[in-house]
Structure 1
Amino acid sequence: MTTDPWGRVDDDGTVYVRTSEGERVVGSWQAGAPEEALAFFHRKYDSLLTEVELLEKRLSTTDLSAGQALASIDKLRGQVAEAHAVGDLDALAGRLDALAARAEERKVEQKQAQELARHEARDIKERIVAEAERVAEETTHWKSGGERMRQLIEEWKAAPRADRGTEQALWKRMSSARNSFSKRRKSYFAGLDQQREQVRVEKEKIVTEAEAMADSTDWGGTASHYRELMQQWKSSGRADRATEDKLWARFKAAQDRFFQARNAQFAERDAELRGNADAKEAILNEAREAVLPVSDLRRARAQLREYQERWDAAGTLPRESRDRLEGAFRKIEEAVRKAEEQEWQRSNPEARARAEATINQLRGSIEQLQTKLDKARDAGNDRGAREAEDAIEARRAWLNEAEKALEEMR
């Protein structure tokens, strides 16, 4: 019989392994020496040892899940328990027990990590859903809102998963928000299409009316009508872009045809009226020298009437000089009118009477205030005296102005 610390070979070739529970037959050897039998079954033990060592290394150096580790441990336990090998099988079983304890610890850690991850996933997806609902309910910027909704869907897909119940409830809200946004957007654009069609019909009428007037020679009335049509165009809203561009091109073409014809007519007429401008320029210069400044009102009034008749007889002015010349002539007329007003003020008896009454009233008031001042001084009332002095000074200033005005009326 041949033995070693972990097993032996009986004389009949039976191979035993020693364990804490006693000896167990692991095989039979008839092909050679007993030492070879022990070496053969030692090699089988080494294979088991290698598998245990690999599992230990995977558990300590990789993210092997606890479930996978425990399954591998159970499998190796069965292999060790029934192993046809010679070696320290009890030690292997002990190492597997230690591995199982470590795997159970990892199982608890992984469960805690999974629970934390689910909570984090729930928070992330809650945020995504809340924003999707806000976009669905509030946004009216449909292009950016649609893009943001698509981004939120992608964020949802990329986010970690929560527990099944939470995942389903949140996805139901997410899907509802997306559908709500799509319905609102569809409803908006349907309404917009209807509105644009109404605008198109209204602008079609405006353009048709503008085209009907394009060859009119009623320059003033038609130009005013075109301005009204332009206001209607601006206030009617916008059709779709292609229709808007086509209608505007027709509207502008009609206006251009009318105003180009009107401008050509006005240019021809202005050319004929430039002689009138030269004549009125001469009349203006003569009137300035003869009438201004107004020193003799009767003579200035008579001269102005003469120049006004000549001015009217000189005819219509061209547009480019109308405002300047008409404005300058009105200044001469204004100077004569002011001189007439001043003359009337001087000769108006009612105005003189009012001025004299004002002067008398102010003089009486000053006398009363002077009496009041004397009494205040006699009584040693400084404050009363100062108030009376201030009042007297103010009324003397008013009296001075009133006397000057009355003097100018004489």
Structure 2
Amino acid sequence: MENKDLLEEAKKFGFIQDNQVWLKPFMDFPARQVGEVKEVEDESLVYFAHRFDQFQEKVMALIKKIEESENKGSFLMKVMHLKEQIGKYDAVGDFEALHKILTNAENEIKAAISRNRDKNLSTKIAMITEAEGLQESIDWKGTSERLKELRANWIKTGPVEKALNEEIEERFRTAVEHFFTRKKDFFEDKHAMLNRTLDKYKALIAQSEELKHSDDFEGTTKKLKELQNQWKEVGGNLPRKTSNELWTKFRAAHNYFFERLKNRITETKVESKEKFMEDNLNRKKQLVVEAEELLNLKNMQEATTKAKELQATWKKVGPAKGAESDRVWERFMIACDKVFEMSSLEHYMRKKPLPAEKNSPADQIHARINALRDFIKYDKQEVDVLETNLGKLSTAPSNETFRTMLQGKIRNFNRKITTKTELIDFLKSRLNNSPAASAETTVEAGSENATRQE
């Protein structure tokens, strides 16, 4: 607008009085001085008209922003501030029109705010309803995240009517705090429970550590098994890493003890076995003595029965080890063989009784010695035949079973020869110990010598 036009516009709303520039009254605002005439009155009016244009531009720029903005409520205070300045701003112009523009803007903003507050109230009531529905939840993680989202959205949501603000704020805060208080109490209880569980496990580990060096193997085994049962009953939900570390310590103490127990059992078994073997050997030695004494019995049928009983007893005694065991077995076998050979000899003698004139005790002994010599001769003949057959047998693998059988028979006949030879010595000892037969023995010996010299 040119200065001429501005001057005309200024004179509509202002005037000069006493060298001062005045704004005419409008609405409820009285006339007021806005400045002084510097030099020329019209120029002063134009100057204050320019100031009005500047103020009007500021108002219209604000109105434009309000129209373009979605959040009109944020401009309310600026509108009210400019509206308040209308009664103070030093300028000359149509302030009434600006007042109406700002008033309309203020009313529109307040209406928008009212609508937004209703919308905000609806939104916040929905958030309160959701928060109150979640306040008893035990989904601690998921609910915590959702309530945090609601709390952030609550802050972003605009205000509601002041009369309702305190009530809905309290309801929302109470619901959210109720959940987080429960969550805090739960994890405090859980932490305390985990500590109690941890203490129980540590106590069981400490007891196990104390027991692992014990030499009371039987009693400690029972105690450790009871500790293992207690460990299972503790339960709890410790972190996996912590649980594994505790179990490793607990198991190590038990493994240490039971490894010692295993070694002790092995040692005891060895000791028991050695004692068992020693007792068996002593028992077998006693059976040998009993078997060797059977030849002194007059009734060889009774001796044979007792020999068989001793053999049955021998089988029940159990094993013995070492070279001495083999020697004891050899003695026992020969002693029994002597009894059986002597029994066979007696059976043979009963079939060939001696004539009455040669039936003295010495004659009886001589007859038995001679019979044994005949038996030995027959046995040697058998051995010769067997050895001849063995020598003729080829080394083919198919003959191995037969070879083994022949070798076994040879060993048996040699054992019989040895047994009969020892029986002859036994009978000779009887003959030598018999006073009535001493002279006859001397004559027999001389006769035998003469025969050998011939």
TM, length-normalised to structure 1: 0.47
